[in-house]
A and B are shown apart, each in its own frame.
Chain A
């Protein structure tokens, strides 16, 4: 039960801006949206997160729909180093009130020189 839906793969050319979509139609009001990325032979790396408002940091811009049922991770001017699997996940609470993180397959981003 991944709770998020992402395309399996996307492709972009160096220097372009990439929009990575994520659908989370059953998101609860207190669930945060997190994005991680993972390159081969390494663990996932935090990219950004948000609750309701759009957020931005040095790595990416996160756009969250007004109904919170979808979000888009925007990577400006991608480079070859941005090639990775991008995971969109929700921070959910289990029955004890503690926090599980459910990772799906993510979107594999290919960057063409």
Chain B
């Protein structure tokens, strides 16, 4: 069963706290993505990972970092979260044919 799992689904943090969003996939896909989506906007690309320890900045990497130590796991880290990082974050993995599989999203609120 092809699935991308994100944890946690909902998270509330105070400004300045650290945030860890985790993403797992069971398809052995090499390429994975982190996006954020704000109301009324499209998905903005934060980071791409091409495989273990092979990551590349997307369009809006500032304030974020990522970690990929195993092919099936891709983490998004916010060191000292800011209120403007309140958003819904989506993880995706890419099949060889090009099709993306998305997780259900992680809604982060930074107070």
Q: Determine whether the beta carbon of A103 is less than 8 Å from that of B31.
A: no
Most buried by B among A45, A101, A102: A101
Q: Determine whether the beta carbon of A96 is less than 8 Å from that of B42.
A: no
CB < 8 Å neighbour of B45 from A36, A41, A91, A101:
A101
Interface size range on B against A: 20 to 34
Say if the beta carbon of B22 comes within 8 Å of chain A.
Answer: no
Q: Determine whether the beta carbon of A46 is less than 8 Å from that of B104.
A: no
How many interface residues does A have (CB within 8 Å)? 24
- By a CB distance below 8 angstroms, the chain B residues around A87 are 42
Q: Determine whether the beta carbon of A49 is less than 8 Å from that of B98.
A: yes
- By a CB distance below 8 angstroms, the chain B residues around A94 are 56
CB < 8 Å neighbour of B43 from A41, A44, A45, A49:
A44
Looking at B33-41, B63-71, B74-82, the stretch in contact with chain A turns out to be: B33-41
Say if the beta carbon of B48 comes within 8 Å of chain A.
Answer: yes
- By a CB distance below 8 angstroms, the chain B residues around A61 are none
- By a CB distance below 8 angstroms, the chain B residues around A65 are none
- By a CB distance below 8 angstroms, the chain A residues around B31 are 98-99
Nearest 7 CB-CB pairs, A to B? A43-B102, A103-B43, A103-B42, A104-B42, A43-B90, A105-B42, A46-B99
Q: Which residues does A use to contact B, with CB under 8 Å?
A: 2, 32, 34, 36, 41-46, 49, 87, 91, 94, 96, 98-106
What would be 5 A-B contacts, judged by CB atoms less than 8 Å apart? A43-B4, A43-B102, A87-B42, A102-B42, A103-B43
